[in-house]
Structure 1
Amino acid sequence: MSEPVLPLVSGHALQGTLAWTPRGPVSVARYCADVQALARWLPAGRWVINLVEDRYHCAVLLGACAVSGRVSLQPSSQSHAVLRQLAGAYPGCHALLDAAPAQPLPVPTLQMPPLAAGAAPAIPQVPRDATVAVLFTSGSTGQPTPHAKTWGRLMANGRSEARSLGLDGCPHTLVGTVPAQHSYGFESTLLLALHGGCAFWSGKPFYPQDLADALDAVPRPRLVVTTPFHLAHILASHVRLPAVDRWLSATAPLDAALAAQVEQDSSAPVHEIYGSTESAQLATRRTVQGAEWTLMPGVQLEQQGDTTWAHGVHVEGRVQLSDVLAVQPDGRFTLLGRHADMVNLAGRRTSLAYLNEMLRGIDGVQDGAFFLPHDDALRQVGRLAAFVVAPDVPAASLQAALRERIDPVFLPRPLVQVPALARNATGKLLRATLEQLYRDWAAASFPREGGDAA
């Protein structure tokens, strides 16, 4: 990839279908015309906050930024606090939405204009080293941080994923339940279409029936880009889905039993993506075939002790990973847990991810998560806590089931039953959410004068 400029779309010819919308298919030529029209319409300024919900609009905004020297800012949250941070960090930015906001936002806003009805005669070119997007971490363990992405790396990303999943020889229609602004949704719907030869559905179905309707609207073969959270709810709903030819999951480890059940019910393989906002996607696996991950083409790992770095053709630089990996000589690896999630109690070591998997695997458990307080002000009992959604299972039964699955030193005290766990759009539980649940439990269990449970 030594060329100074690269095409906006490399996976299709001009007349190929890039997207499907409720109005029908959208060709590459139509997409390029929409991109150029939006690029001319956008006001002066380098930064555009991407708040559009429609996946096709998101792709058009990305393209408009790429061809006009602008940058698409893609926050993981649309909270007022996050938007105020962006306004301060990126002077002169505007937010683009599909429709007028329900309430005023703390940044200047624009509404997506009507798109062109024409067809571009050629695919625009984009400078290879141009920064076209800034993605932000989810903030699951702290403050969201920005990560700039250049066009050449993004193009290589889409191509690498297509090769890794075998989609370069058999393009699928992509139906994503995750936001296009999030790194996983961005890579596995938009980039996989722009540079991997696939097409994508413009919507973002959340509920199982919405997913069924979306699948009905697009041709086979179909690939659903989703999360473990969504997969579990799809199975529990018993909604009958149109044929799915492949499933793709990320954002959290997928339980092997859940993957096996999805494969049995749908007769379609379930694959996972491993990566991060910082590093981009790095590896894939078919969950039912074992715990080992296979690196994507062009990715290399380096290790020193428990620390691993990733680099390669689509990775922006040399990125230190947040996970502890066991890497084999051939490059395949298994995940031992996140550095921040590793727990060492009484000389025994495990990860919160493993403990969560054991908890969620108990019959009757709908959701659950372990929590290790790091803040002295939060510590009340000096050991792990867990929050669980299991309305029909007594706490004593949950503890008994856990005792059969994990070392007793990791048994949670307390184990708190809650009606639901508030997850974000990609199914992640933010640490701040668990901290607040722990504070609420501590305030009720250790009342202090004035209601202070610190």
Structure 2
Amino acid sequence: MSDWTDLCRLMCADGADRPVARNAAGEVVTLGSLRLAAGAWQATFAAQPGQAVALHFEDTLDFSAALFGAWHAGKIAYLPGELTAATLQALGTQVAGLASDAAEDFALPRLRSSPAAEPLPVLPLNPQAEQLVLFTSGSTGEPQAITKRLDQLFVEVAAQQQAFGARAGQAEVLGTVSHQHIYGLLFRVLWPLASGRLLHARRLAYIEDLPVALRALPNTALLIGSPAHLKRLPPALPDDSFTARVALVFSSGGPLPDDALPDCRRLFGQAPIEVYGSSETGGIAWRQRSGEVHSPVWRALPGVAWRVDGERLQVSSAHLAEAGWQDSEDRVRASDEGFELLGRLDRVLKIEGKRVSLQAIEQALLATEWLAELRVLVLPGLREQLAVVGVPTEAGWALHAQQGRAAMAEALRRQLQPLLETMTLPRRWRFVSHLPANAQGKTTAQALQALFDPRRPAMQVLSQSATEATLRIWPDATLPQFDGHFSGHPVLPGVAQVEWALLFAQELFGLPGALRALEALKFQQVIRPGQALQMQLTMQAAQGKLVFKLESDSGPHASGRVLFELPAAEATA
């Protein structure tokens, strides 16, 4: 059993020599070193006006120091999920500045750690203080801010230890999810710090990074994952012998599909522990489908009570902001061992004054066997309209290739005509290889809406690794890039081809920095509307370089390299 530390006293209790983390270089970091870093942030935050600061870090160890520094400075820590312009604009009126390890410059004042000449006094944290603001994933609209007391977080961490601690042992904590959201914060930061397990500073952006990380460990590991990663496991990894070194696998942020379980068992030797909850409620229940795939029963976490009102799940726990029973928006059915999730209650909306069931639309479209997964959303505008983002099956992609996007969308619309009035039928369609997911594995409304940019071509991911991807692209004649190039004989401008390489590299890999230069550009053949293309992308992030090629059945069309500005530390490494 791990040694337990009261998180309220983490920065002022004994045990400075206790190992708490591995930094990005894999070196062990002690609690004493973490306290020094947190003290530097405490001094910085204490000197700021106002009651709140924003934190956004990729490095989990640096984030932990900044978080406890903010709390001990008496500040409210805002944790934005992403550093978008809209998010920063909204935060600008609420926080004194942004502490971050991002290389970009932002509109908010940048705060940097600076130890005071005399260390500030460090007293135990007040568990009743409201010192954290998280944001919902924004899967159905704009992210909503949620304020948490420290005791809500710390009690939930104790529940995790009670439920899983004995099985976790002294395993080190690796994760594919970000700590900027409630699940990653609890499982990758607070639980390790409280339980004496080493947290890892570096997030595993790709599951292919796991074998390398495990081979460097002298211990077993906990993998904190999400369906976004676990449902896309590769057929094989470079070294399957690491599976015995994964003590437990966790998944949260959405349902894990049944068909992901065989690959999880093959690669990890076990099914993941799935955790059900939300940013508002905290953790509610868990399950591990160790037997039959269709094992739907969820068991409440320690300290969580539940009941069913009609079909609505109600919960009561110390993870909630207020005592008493709170309604959820989930339909459930009680069983002897727990409850089964039946779907959402809040999936009815109005379009043109007519009630529309999103669940009925999804069920009808999935029944066609052309779509494996989809999201229905409302696109804003003078006239609201339904839109569908779908992940085609093999049969669906074959239909898309043979007849095109418009014909496939019309075929799917016909399947909905018995259910919906004409004015409420989806008007916009996008077909993608997988739903966009952020670092938490969540599909946000903002990311879905971005797919409807009129300048974006239809695209399918044929293959992808941590550094390379092969895509199929259909440059439809309706794309605005063809306008004016040229009358009667439209061709795709070279600048649009480079833009597409950057767009899809950003979505698949993330760009390592600001654009610096283009080199070795070649445009061998023109691209005409409707000409199916294949794009190859190779991201060399350490060198700040993206290599792209565009080809078709007619041969090569374009190629080149995009160079990026790297942070000074990386550029000189």
Q: TM-score, normalised by structure 1?
A: 0.78
- 1:428 aligned partner: 442
- Asked if the contact 1:50–1:97 (Cα under 8 Å) also holds between the matched residues in 2, the reply is yes
CA distance in 2, matches of 1:391, 1:322: 36
- 1:263 aligned partner: 265
Secondary structure, counterpart of 2:219 in structure 1:
coil
Q: Relative to 1, partners in 2 of residues 1:389 and 1:332: Cα closer, same or farther, differing over 3 Å?
A: same
- Asked if the contact 1:137–1:277 (Cα under 8 Å) also holds between the matched residues in 2, the reply is yes
CA distance in 1, matches of 2:163, 2:12: 17
- 1:109 aligned partner: 110
Counterpart check, 1:177 vs 2:176: yes
Superposition RMSD in Å: 4.4
Query: How much identity, in percent, do the aligned residues show?
Result: 21
Q: Relative to 1, partners in 2 of residues 1:124 and 1:263: Cα closer, same or farther, differing over 3 Å?
A: farther
- 2:144 aligned partner: 145
Superposition pairs of residues 67-146 of structure 1, within 5 angstroms: 67-90=72-95, 93-98=96-101, 101-102=103-104, 104-112=105-113, 125-146=124-145
CA distance in 2, matches of 1:158, 1:251: 17
Superposition pairs of residues 45-56 of structure 1, within 5 angstroms: 45=49, 46-56=51-61
> How much has 1:446 moved relative to structure 2?
12
| Amino acid in structure 1 at the alignment position of 2:332 | A
Higher relative contact order (CA 8 A, sep 6+): 1
CA distance in 2, matches of 1:236, 1:359: 27
Match of 2:27 among 24, 28, 32: 24
Greater CA drift, 320-329 or 193-202: 320-329
- Asked if the contact 1:223–1:247 (Cα under 8 Å) also holds between the matched residues in 2, the reply is yes
Secondary structure, counterpart of 2:92 in structure 1:
helix
Counterpart check, 1:200 vs 2:205: no
- 1:339 aligned partner: 345
- Asked if the contact 1:7–1:123 (Cα under 8 Å) also holds between the matched residues in 2, the reply is no
- 2:543 aligned partner: none
Q: Relative to 1, partners in 2 of residues 1:15 and 1:259: Cα closer, same or farther, differing over 3 Å?
A: farther
| Uncovered stretches (5+) of structure 2, i.e. residues with no partner | 1-5, 403-407, 457-475, 484-573
- Asked if the contact 1:356–1:370 (Cα under 8 Å) also holds between the matched residues in 2, the reply is no
Secondary structure, counterpart of 2:321 in structure 1:
coil
Match of 1:63 among 34, 54, 68: 68
CA distance in 2, matches of 1:288, 1:80: 44
| Amino acid in structure 1 at the alignment position of 2:41 | L
Q: Relative to 1, partners in 2 of residues 1:374 and 1:82: Cα closer, same or farther, differing over 3 Å?
A: closer
The number of residues matched between the two structures is 423
| Amino acid in structure 2 at the alignment position of 1:226 | G
Secondary structure, counterpart of 1:127 in structure 2:
coil
Greater CA drift, 273-282 or 141-150: 141-150
- 1:44 aligned partner: 48
> How much has 1:330 moved relative to structure 2?
5.7
CA distance in 1, matches of 2:392, 2:113: 40
Q: Relative to 1, partners in 2 of residues 1:145 and 1:343: Cα closer, same or farther, differing over 3 Å?
A: closer
> How much has 1:298 moved relative to structure 2?
0.6
CA distance in 2, matches of 1:372, 1:225: 29
> How much has 1:342 moved relative to structure 2?
6.1
> How much has 1:158 moved relative to structure 2?
0.9
- Asked if the contact 2:177–2:225 (Cα under 8 Å) also holds between the matched residues in 1, the reply is yes
CA distance in 1, matches of 2:365, 2:348: 14
- 2:186 aligned partner: 187
Match of 2:302 among 286, 297, 302: 297
Q: Relative to 1, partners in 2 of residues 1:397 and 1:306: Cα closer, same or farther, differing over 3 Å?
A: farther
Question: 1:128-156 CA distances to partner (integer Å, 9 max, x unpaired)?
Answer: 21222111111111121211222222111
Greater CA drift, 59-68 or 260-269: 260-269
Larger Rg: 2
Secondary structure, counterpart of 1:194 in structure 2:
helix
CA distance in 1, matches of 2:173, 2:364: 29
Match of 1:254 among 244, 253, 256: 256
Q: TM-score, normalised by structure 2?
A: 0.63
